[in-house]
Structures are given as C-alpha cells and as structure tokens.
Amino acid sequence: MRNEKGLFITFEGGEGTGKSTQLRLLAEVLQKAGIANIATKEPGGTDIGQELRRILVTGDKDKCDAVAEALLYYADRRIHLTNKIWPALENGTWVLSDRFADSTVAYQYYGYNKRISMEMLDDLYKMVVGDFKPDLTIILDIDPQIGLARSMAKSRTMAVKETRHESRGLEFHNNLRAGYLELAAREPQRFAVLNADKSIDELHEDIKKLVSERSKVNLCQK
C-alpha cells in the first residue's frame, strides 16, 4: 500500500452488513491515532450526489434499467472523485468510502445476472476513474437473508425508504454476493473478505487488525 498520500479504503458488501457503522468506528480509531481522514459514501458523497442518491435508491425498482443505473452511479462517482476523494488524498488525508466502483460490478452486473456488458463497465471505469483504484477494499460478507432482514428492520425507522434495491428478491442478492467473492478472488492484494455475521465489536477488531496489517500503521494497541 502506498503511504506518501492518503490511503483510499472502500467498504463493500450487500445490504445490512453493517458497513456504515464499521466505517465510522474505523474513522474514530484513525482519528485517535492521529491520522486525518474523511468518511464518505456512494451514492451521495457530495451535494449533487445526494440528489442522484434520491433517484437511485428510492422508488420503484423498475423505474430505470441496469445501464441507466450504471451511468447515474458513475456520474455520482465522477463528482465524488473530483470534488472530494482526489483533493483529500492529495492533502494526505485518508478517505474511507462506504461503497465505490465494485458496487456497480456487484449490483448492476452480477446482481442482474450479467445482463449488461462487463466491457461497458470496464470502459466506464477507464473513462471516469482512469488508473486510480482503492488501496484496500473490505468486503463485509453475510448471508443475504440475514442482511436483508437487518436492512429492512432499519428502514422501518427511516422517514425516506431507501429500499429500491432491497426489494429485488433473494436471487439478485445471492448473485451479487457471489460476484463480490469472485472479484475478491481475482484481486486478493486489494480485497479482503470479512465475515460480517458477528457482533459490532468483534467485526471492528477484525477490521483494525486488517487495516494495521495492510497499512503498516498499528491500530491495535490497547
């Protein structure tokens, strides 16, 4: 992992894996260790992105197809990169993002059972992101039945229901989980897969250990 600039760490996984909680806990630990960092997310890491997020994660699941979705997620990503991620990394600030481009491959390609072309997604990546990649991608892995139940329970307490993808059925979610595992197997130096069917504290310990190993910054001191 490179160290001269900030590190870019992404959290990935299906629904209800606890990504946002774990990201926040990691951000706190880094802060305490004196490492400047920002916590962000896709879609919606910027003001314009928040508007795209509303379109993408609420409402009828069939209101647009996978190609349109991929384009909108990439528009959000471009603004996120240029306005927030790249400037922060240049400053030496670490960036922790709840989802990035692997989500598009997992959801729009594997989730939809490969109905859109991987070539198109590769081209979009090159056009929008170029050679840039996360330094570390942590996949929080959980049985979709457990994750979806958690996520639906959480959404009942939310005023705006962000459940457009949750409503796609188990096959979609099983496909995307398998997709993430395939991506991780192909690029083990960037990915780490952690079992997310654990307590918040246990998973946080696993994440601290992993980030310490990969970044050479010891976050596990008591």
Q: Residue numbers of the site for ligand TMP (CB under 6 A)?
A: 41-43, 56-57, 73, 99, 103-104, 107-108, 162, 165
Residues 6+ apart with CB under 8 A from 87: none
Residue 40 or 108: which CB sits closer to ligand TMP?
108
- Minimum CB–partner distance for residue 46 and ligand TMP (Å): 13
Query: 170-186 and 144-155 are packed helices; what angle lies between their axes, rounded to 10 degrees?
Result: 120
Return the residue nearest ligand TMP (CB atom): 107
Closest contact distance (angstroms) between CB of 36 and ligand TMP is 24
Please state, in angstroms and rounded to a whole number, the distance separating the CA atoms of residues 182 and 179: 5
Burial class from Cβ neighbours inside 10 Å (0-12, 13-18, 19+) for residue 197 reads middle
> Residue 38 is encoded by which pair of tokens?
């920002």
Closest separation between CB of residue 1 and ligand TMP, Å? 23
Say what angle helices 47-57 and 66-80 make with each other, to 10 degrees: 160
What distance separates the 2 farthest-apart alpha carbons in the chain?
50
Question: Please, what is the minimum distance in Å from the beta carbon of residue 33 to ligand TMP?
Answer: 26
Strands 136-141 and 8-13: parallel
Q: How far is the CB of 137 from ligand TMP (least distance, A)?
A: 13
* Nearer CB in complex with ligand TMP: 94/100: 100
Q: How far is the CB of 82 from ligand TMP (least distance, A)?
A: 16
If the CB atoms of residues 57 and 152 are measured against ligand TMP, the closer one turns out to be 57
Residue 172 backbone dihedrals phi, psi, to 5 degrees: -55, -45
Amino acid identity, position 78: R
Q: Give the nearer residue to ligand TMP in terms of CB position, either 36 or 122.
A: 122
The residue (of 173 and 204) whose beta carbon lies closer to ligand TMP is 173
Nearer to ligand TMP, 2 or 115 (CB): 115
